[in-house]
Amino acid sequence: MSELNHSSEEVQNNPTTESVTIETALPPATSGRSWKSYLAGTVVLLVLAAVCLQFFQANPAVSQTDGTDANTGRVTMNAATPGKILAKVNNQGITYDLVARECVAKYGEEILESMVNRLIIQQECDRLGITVSRGEVEAEVAETAKKFNLPLDTWYQMLSSERGLTKEQYQNDIIWPMLALKKLAGKDIQVTEKEMQEGFERDYGPRVKARMILVEGNIRQANQIWEKCMATPDDFDRIARENSADPNSRPLGGVIPPIRKNGVDKAIEEAAFKLQPGELSGLIQVSEGRYVILKCEGLTEPVVEDIRVVWNDLLAQLTEEKTQTSVAKVFEKLRKEARVDNFLTRTSTAGRNPIQQTAGFTNGEPVKPQVQQITR
């Protein structure tokens, strides 16, 4: 079976991207994602990489004129040779070098960062003798398409039409790094009964229907708004429209998605589940200079009453969540241990001082070599 494990040299010549998604909603949002949001989070930089890559990779053996398009009659030209003209405007040329420089100036930092991350993963795979087979990659793609209830062919067509990704780009630059990190993290993932119960409460249990006012400022300002709410609790929606700093709930009079148990905002969760319908919370500090006031409007009905009904699905979901957490920790450790000298941003993980670049480009401009003056 063919292997998709790439050598370090190959990784240096093929950019990829990772995407990491962090839950920051206040209160926690539901965990479901559409295929569009999935793609937006994982491939947006890859698209930029593909744009830049067609200019960065040279192929001097191919002639400038490749042939004529049978449908349009236009002459087609290969655009992979440095120094040649890619376009002319009123007989004034735009060269490959100018386009490449513009790409580096606009997208260079993001693309280089993703390539660095890919190489870090590849080097650790090489060290441990870890490979990812083509069959494993294809199976993961099929499973991803299945999660979104799409046939495999439709999934690939959607990747192409929505994100401009080829099958090979998707497999090599998105799926391969994910599977490689999973192998580096190991397979010893266990979900305890306590975690199952907490996950069941989070995803299927009752939630608190509430309105929220977010105050950004000092404790005195937050206390003034809280006193207004306590004085006229029936006007909570009006006070929220006038004072809340949350742009999503403010126009709705403070209405927020129902608050679930075992989410990410423990302080809000604990306060919410202690409230009775119509009752207001005290000031809840969620971070420095940010306070929340809640008004309880009752509880939702449980989605499922018996955990046995959803046991297998829940177990699979929690196992995947713990795997992703483990993967993130592994990559963070690899990143901290790697020495990365970035000549584009003039930074190095080896020290705090910026590094001196002596060749190449910075900010889209060629760097002149620095010559040390020797005094006699």
Whether residue 52 contacts residue 17, with contact meaning beta carbons closer than 8 Å, is answered with: no
Taking the C-alpha atoms of residue 184 and residue 199, their distance in angstroms, rounded to an integer, is 26
Structure confidence at residue 319 (pLDDT): 93
Provide the CATH topology of domain 206-299.
Chitinase A; domain 3 (3.10.50)
Structure confidence at residue 316 (pLDDT): 92
Choose among 128, 123, 62, 132: nearest CA to 96. Answer: 62
Structure confidence at residue 189 (pLDDT): 87
Structure confidence at residue 129 (pLDDT): 96
Mind listing the pLDDT tens digit of every residue in the chain (376 residues)?
A: 444 444 444 434 443 333 322 233 333 333 344 555 455 444 433 433 443 343 333 333 333 334 444 444 444 445 456 678 999 999 999 999 999 999 999 999 988 998 899 899 999 999 999 999 999 999 999 999 998 999 999 999 999 999 888 898 899 888 999 999 999 998 778 999 999 999 999 999 999 999 999 999 999 999 999 999 999 999 999 999 999 999 999 999 999 999 999 988 899 999 999 999 999 999 999 999 999 999 999 999 999 999 999 999 999 999 999 999 999 999 999 999 999 999 999 999 886 555 555 444 444 454 443 333 333 3
Structure confidence at residue 308 (pLDDT): 96
Structure-block tokens of residue 349: 């993980």
Structure-block tokens of residue 220: 């005195």
- Cβ neighbours, 10 Å, residue 269: 21
Structure confidence at residue 274 (pLDDT): 97
Residue in the block written with tokens 């990704």? 165
N- to C-terminal Cα separation, the chain? 65
Whether residue 163 contacts residue 40, with contact meaning beta carbons closer than 8 Å, is answered with: no
Whether residue 178 contacts residue 137, with contact meaning beta carbons closer than 8 Å, is answered with: no
Strands, E assignment, 28-180: 65-68, 75-77, 85-89, 92-95
Structure confidence at residue 165 (pLDDT): 87
Taking the C-alpha atoms of residue 364 and residue 108, their distance in angstroms, rounded to an integer, is 9
Choose among 82, 107, 105: nearest CA to 95. Answer: 82
Helices 176-185 and 311-337 cross at an angle (nearest 10°) of 90
Amino acid, single-letter form, for residue 264: V
Amino acid, single-letter form, for residue 188: D
Give span(s): CATH 3.10.50.40, the chain. Answer: 206-299
- Considering the entire predicted model, what is its pTM? 0.61
Whats the size of the chain, residue-wise?
376
CA atoms within 13 A on the CB side of 345: 16
Taking the C-alpha atoms of residue 10 and residue 126, their distance in angstroms, rounded to an integer, is 12
